[in-house]
Amino acid sequence: MPANRHQGRGTPGAAFVAAGALSLGALVLGAAAGAGCTVERPQPDLTGQDIRLTLIHTSDIHSRLFPYNFVPNRFDQDYGLQASKAPFGGIARMATIAKAIRATSGRSLWLDSGDCFQGAPVFNMFKGEAEMRALSLAGMDAAVIGNHEFDLGSQNLFEQIDNWAQFNLLAANYTFEDPPNRDQRSLKDVVEPYAIYDLEGLKIGVIGMANWSSMTGIFEGGNSLGLRPLDDAQVVEQYVRLLRPVVDVLILVSHLGLDEDEGLAASEVEDQNEALPLDGVDIIMGGHLHIVTNPPKILPHGEAGHQTVLVHSGAFAKFVGRLDLVVRVGTDNSRPETRSRVTAFTYDNIPVTSDVPDDPEVSELLWPYSVAINEAIDLDGVFSFINTAGETKIIRNDRSGGDSQLGNMVARAMQTRPGVEAEFALTNSLGVRADFERGPLTVEQMFNVFPFENSITVMYLSGQEIQETLDFVSRKSSERGCRTQAQVAGIWFDMVCRSETCPDPDPTDDYVPTACAKNIVIGEDCRAGNPDGPIVIDGSTCRQLVPTGLYRVAVNDYIARGGSGFEVLKRNTSKQDTGVSLRDALAVFLRQQPACAADVTDFTDTADPERTVVERWGEVSCLDETVEPHDGRIRPVFE
């Protein structure tokens, strides 16, 4: 273990007090004595004073250690991420912002809400080493464990933490199993449920609430993760009782959540943090949802006028959140009436843009990783050109709420991939993370579309299983404004988001279904070219789904394991993971499209707008509105 791993960074003189599952008596003793981690010195008496505290917040960095290009969506632009200031992100820039914030505040902590792993080539090549080293050098104090931290298994996560992390890794709602060899160190030795920081006499408690809703194998016996989830509400109550009497500010740094989509407003997603028992909790710094809450949410509760401030600061290294608090230090933190409380706050979400200089130390650390990546992968390589008309682009979310052009492309690439050749394909909409913007399509942009390493799984489903799966898609979509949560190729259906005629699959329970899939057919062009028209069944090109039939289906490995609630797919035992990534399958599909004509100009070349695509990029395919267009494969219906 690195010698300085558990020495709370914070501001100069900010002492790490305690971490771990201690008894209340030991905790109080540790708070008084400083837990032997720092040089003892007299603590100021802050009782009755208004003390300023600054919290730096990041989340869902997803391996965006280096600046990258993408077109900001409307939410990004609303929060100050302007296209003219690309490229965006990068840990060296985030370190600059964090250090600038700390220079203006006497007491500060940098807390991260998880998922620093997975989403860029640096993780594929170095397995999290670069992330842990860079965040440590940048000055992070603590982070909760995210679900993507387990993408290469528990052993890899342990090794990266143990070898490189110089900040606290937290997860109060996990219980870790002993390894087969009791003398072997494992995650239970390097992950703690909470940490306490002493910032010049102001005691800050931080509880880590890790994710388990997205970790599909976590409940199954003998799972390779070596952990079991604990009930979130009970965990919060337990650690609030333990920590509240000895801290002035109590923070949940959380990766709880049900869905994630940076294309949605904070009011459009369900935040699991809001359902927790929050008496005694001052701040929640949330992650996993990939949203920004600006202004933060205020969650009142019945505890002597106290309230909880809930903050999300976005994803993919696009923003650094700054939460400035005024804390009135109380006389007795064991009682709601007399304990310390947050009396005021301000929040700023700072864009990580090209006008932010790199921190030289972090930049120097990352330089060898950058060289290795660029030698192995040509991120600027162009293999297709998006030649749509006007200002249009190839979108992942169609305005109709049904199938989208990009979703159709992804599903078709899965269905027709050599070795797969499925009757139809289905993938979750949230697995497709960005649109295809007009102009050259680069390898880097493909990582924006598919930041995660999902692969194609082939399975055999009965017609009844398909019906149940599409019923689930319809119910899930109805909760999101009747916007489809799946994309398909080779299958057509009406996604009924409101109806009194949906069949009840289980009459023995109290649930009354109001959303379901109807008129399901297998085939192509089953609405005869009219996305809003009725399904046409001819018995050959388009044939009715048969409940007792058996169908070869391509899905992604995440939903095949039950991710995002696809329980029917999880139960099926015929699945075989091909190992072919969705990103690679889509790249092959795009390269197979017709090449750009000789007279197609590269309108993105501002220096020479008459220069043709062939002259600038060579023989690459051209994509326009006619390639896998929105055609009504999934038609939203309200009855």
**Residue (of 209, 213, 227, 234) closest to 285 by Cα position:** 209
**Between residues 322 and 14, which one has the greater pLDDT?**
322
Domain end call among 325, 342, 371: 371
| 403 shares a domain with 355 | no
524 and 404 in a common domain: yes
- Domain membership flag for residue 246: yes
- Residue 17: the pLDDT is 53
Q: Are residues 318 and 400 in the same domain?
A: no
Peptide bond into 180 cis (omega under 30): no
CATH (domain of 434): 3.90.780.10
* Number of other CB atoms surrounding residue 364 within 10 Å: 12
Q: Looking at the predicted structure, is the pLDDT value of residue 511 above 80?
A: no
Does residue 7 lie within any of the structural domains? no
Looking at residue 41, its pLDDT comes to 66
- Per the domain annotation, does 2 fall within a domain? no
Specify whether the CB–CB gap between 410 and 630 falls below 8 A: no
Rounded to an integer, the average pLDDT of 161-181 is: 92
| The pLDDT of residue 549 | 97
pLDDT (tens digit, 9 = 90+) per residue, 348-382?
Answer: 999 999 999 999 999 999 999 999 999 999 988 99
Same domain membership, residue 344 and residue 422: no
Residue 9 lies in a domain: no
For residue 360, whether the previous peptide bond is cis, meaning omega lies within 30 degrees of 0, is no
- Calculate mean pLDDT across residues 77-97: 95
Task: Tell me what the mean pLDDT of segment 18-31 comes to.
Answer: 45
- Report the C-alpha gap between 260 and 114 in whole angstroms: 13
- Same domain as 348, residue 405: no
- Residue 628 CA to residue 624 CA, distance in Å, equals 9
pLDDT score recorded for residue 15? 54
Which range, 262-276, 396-410, 433-447, is most confident?
A: 396-410
Per-residue pLDDT band at 7 (split at 50, 70, 90)? very low
Let me know whether 97 and 153 are in one domain.
yes
DSSP state string for 487-513: EEESEEEEEEEE-S----S-TTSS---
> Is residue 539's pLDDT more than 90?
no
Dihedrals phi, psi of 471, to nearest 5 degrees = -60, -45
Q: Is residue 232 part of a domain?
A: yes
540, pLDDT greater than 90: no
- The order of strands in the sheet holding 455-462 is 486-489, 424-428, 550-556, 455-462, 576-581
Neighbouring residues of 241: CB distance < 8 A, sequence distance ≥ 6? 280
Band of pLDDT at residue 16, cut at 50, 70 and 90: low
Strands 202-209, 194-199: pairing is antiparallel
Domain boundary among 371, 401, 431: 371
18 within domain boundaries: yes
> Which residues sit opposite 70 in a β-bridge?
none
**The predicted structure's pLDDT at residue 24:** 39
Q: Are residues 207 and 96 in the same domain?
A: yes
Domain assignment present for 5: no
pLDDT of residue 30: 39
pLDDT value of residue 12: 37
- Supply 191's token pair: 């992950």
Report the number of distinct structural domains present in the chain: 2
Query: What band does 480 get if pLDDT is binned at 50, 70 and 90?
Result: confident
Residue 164, domain extent: 14-36+45-371
Rounded to 5 degrees, what angle do the CA atoms 586, 587, 588 make? 90
Q: Are residues 556 and 464 in the same domain?
A: yes
Report whether pLDDT(32) > 50: no
Residue 223 scores a pLDDT above 70: no
pLDDT tier, 267 (very low <50, low <70, confident <90, very high otherwise) = confident
Same domain, yes or no, for 471 and 351? no
In this structure, the answer to whether residues 383 and 484 fall within a common structural domain is yes
Of the residues 322, 341, 371, the one at which a domain ends: 371
Q: What confidence tens digit (pLDDT) does each residue in 438-471 have?
A: 999 999 999 989 888 899 999 999 999 999 999 9
Name the residue with tokens 């600054």. Answer: 54
% residues pLDDT > 90 (the chain): 75
DSSP string, 363-428: HHHHHHHHHHHHHH--TT-EEEEE--STT--B-SS-TTSS--HHHHHHHHHHHHSTTT--SEEEEE
At 206, list the tokens.
Answer: 């931080």
According to the model, what pLDDT value does residue 18 have? 60
pLDDT tens profile 291-349:
999 999 999 887 777 899 999 999 999 999 999 999 999 999 999 999 999 999 999 99
Under a CB-based contact definition with an 8 Å cutoff, are residues 414 and 488 in contact?
Answer: no
**Residue 8 placed within a domain:** no
120: domain CATH number is 3.60.21.10
- For residue 581, give the amino acid letter: S
301 in the same domain as 164: yes
Query: What pLDDT shows up at residue 217?
Result: 47
What tens digit of pLDDT does each residue of 553-577 get? 999 999 999 888 899 999 999 999 9
**pLDDT in the model for residue 507:** 77
**Position with higher pLDDT, 227 vs 598:** 598
Rounded to the nearest angstrom, the gap between the alpha carbon of residue 396 and the centroid of all alpha carbons in its chain is: 17
Average pLDDT over residues 482-497: 97
Contact present, 177 and 191 (Cβ < 8 Å)? no
Do 59 and 132 lie in one domain? The reply is yes
CB 172 within 8 A of CB 208: yes
Going by pLDDT thresholds of 50, 70 and 90, the confidence category of residue 180 is confident
- Pair 488, 406: CB distance under 8 Å: no
What's the chain's average pLDDT? 89
